[in-house]
Amino acid sequence: MNEKNLRNEIAKNPLMILLLGACPAMGATATLLGSVGMGAAVLLVMLLSGIVMAALKNIVPACARIPACVLVIAGFASIMQMLMNAFLPEIYQLLGVYVAVVAVDLLVFSAVDGKGSVGAAVSAAVKTGLVFLVILCVMGVVREVLGSASIAGQEIAFLKDYRIPVLTMAPGGLMVYGIVAAVVSKLAPAGAMCTDLACCKKSEEVEQ
């Protein structure tokens, strides 16, 4: 994948255009560990439910697709929650209610449409999920280093007196997210990203 493709892929990520999945994204990024855990959880849930929904494509009637999709995603999210609770209790504690909220994550929902083939579902899930993971890690590093003067739980001594506590709280998360979105929109190739929300809405309506 060359550089332009990569930029395009990042700019097209639903997290960046439509704010889908913003809730777990910001809830998790107060620390780097939380971001990695959340990114991996979303990637896995998206991949597994994408495969299941693509496999069930011919069985589920069109009118039942949305509820079926929601329930499959919620099922995998519950499994993920239990696995995390069992094997990664520290990260589970860190993420709290946001792990459960992956069940109603619109980012996952938008990637899992259950219309294409299994292969298409896998590639869509991996692409969206990896970009999501990387963006989350960037936000996590910024918020943890500047907000609580530590990285992945290790304290950074010289930054201790200069930390900005607001970054670990809700408004700080929104600010960092805004700055990351601005950087992405600056780097995006022209036309790849619609900065106007109305035009995104329109393109979504056409799809429906």
Partner 1 sequence: MEKSMFAIVLSGILLNNYALQNYLGISALLGTAKDAKKSAVLGGAVTVVMVLSAAVCWPVDHFVLSAFGLEYLRTLVFVAIILAAAYLVSAVVKTVVKKPLGIWFPLVALNSAVLGAALNNAAEGLNFLQAVVSALAAGLGFLLAIVVFSGVCDRIEEQHVPRAFRGLPVRLMAAAIIGLALYAF
Cβ–Cβ under 8 Å, residues 50 and 122: yes
Rounded CA separation 155/168 (Å):
15
Cβ–Cβ under 8 Å, residues 73 and 45: yes
| CB of 149 or CB of 181, closer to partner 1 | 181
| CB of 72 or CB of 91, closer to partner 1 | 72
Cβ–Cβ under 8 Å, residues 150 and 34: no
Element housing 154 (H / E): strand 154-155
Per-residue binding string, partner 1, 26-55, x by CB under 8 A, is: xx----------------------------
* Residues in region 59-118 near partner 1 by CB under 8 A: 66-67, 70-71, 74-75, 77-78, 81-82, 97-98, 100-101, 103-106, 109
Per-residue binding string, partner 1, 164-183, x by CB under 8 A, is: --x--xxxxxxx-xxx-xxx
| 155 bridge partner residues | 150
Cβ–Cβ under 8 Å, residues 37 and 140: no
Select from 10, 11, 17, 121 the one that contacts partner 1 (CB under 8 A): 17
For binding to partner 1 (CB under 8 A), which residues are involved?
16-24, 26-27, 66-67, 70-71, 74-75, 77-78, 81-82, 97-98, 100-101, 103-106, 109, 166, 169-175, 177-179, 181-183, 185-186, 194-197, 201, 204-205, 208
